[in-house]
């Protein structure tokens, strides 16, 4: 017999997998110039100045691209159906 706690853990794991897949799809659909900055900042933990050096672009460009990347995420998540 399946215990309720085991069942709830399975549901939670499935939900985490779905969220991870949706995040991956969102990032892959993001314009490349935004994606690079987003990944370096959010997944590699790099500061804007480090990203600026890594990509050879001004820090203001990093800031602008990150704001665009976050806006892209916000828009995509607020309208998941693409309507």
Query: What are the CA-CA distances from residue 37 to residues 16, 23, 56, 61, 75 (Å)?
Result: 24, 16, 12, 10, 18
pLDDT digits (tens, 9 = 90+) for 41-73: 999 999 999 999 999 999 999 999 999 999 999
* pLDDT computed for residue 15 by the predictor: 76
* pLDDT of 1 above 60: no
Residue 50 inside a domain? The answer is yes
Where in the sequence is the domain holding 58, given as residue range(s)? 4-78
Residue 39 inside a domain? The answer is yes
Determine contact, residues 26/20, Cβ cutoff 8 Å.
no
Q: Which residue has the higher pLDDT, 22 or 8?
A: 22
Residue 83 inside a domain? The answer is no
Determine contact, residues 70/37, Cβ cutoff 8 Å.
no
Domain count, the chain: 1
CATH code for position 46: 1.10.10.10
Residue 22 inside a domain? The answer is yes
């Amino acid at each position: 017999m399946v215990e309720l706690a085991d069942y709830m853990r399975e549901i939670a794991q499935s939900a985490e997998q779905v969220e991870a897949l949706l995040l991956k799809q969102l990032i892959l659909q993001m314009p490349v110039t935004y994606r690079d900055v987003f990944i370096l900042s959010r997944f590699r933990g790099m500061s804007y100045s480090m990203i600026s050096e890594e990509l050879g672009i001004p820090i203001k460009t990093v800031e602008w691209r990150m704001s665009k990347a976050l806006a892209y995420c916000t828009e995509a998540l607020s309208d998941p159906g693409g309507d």
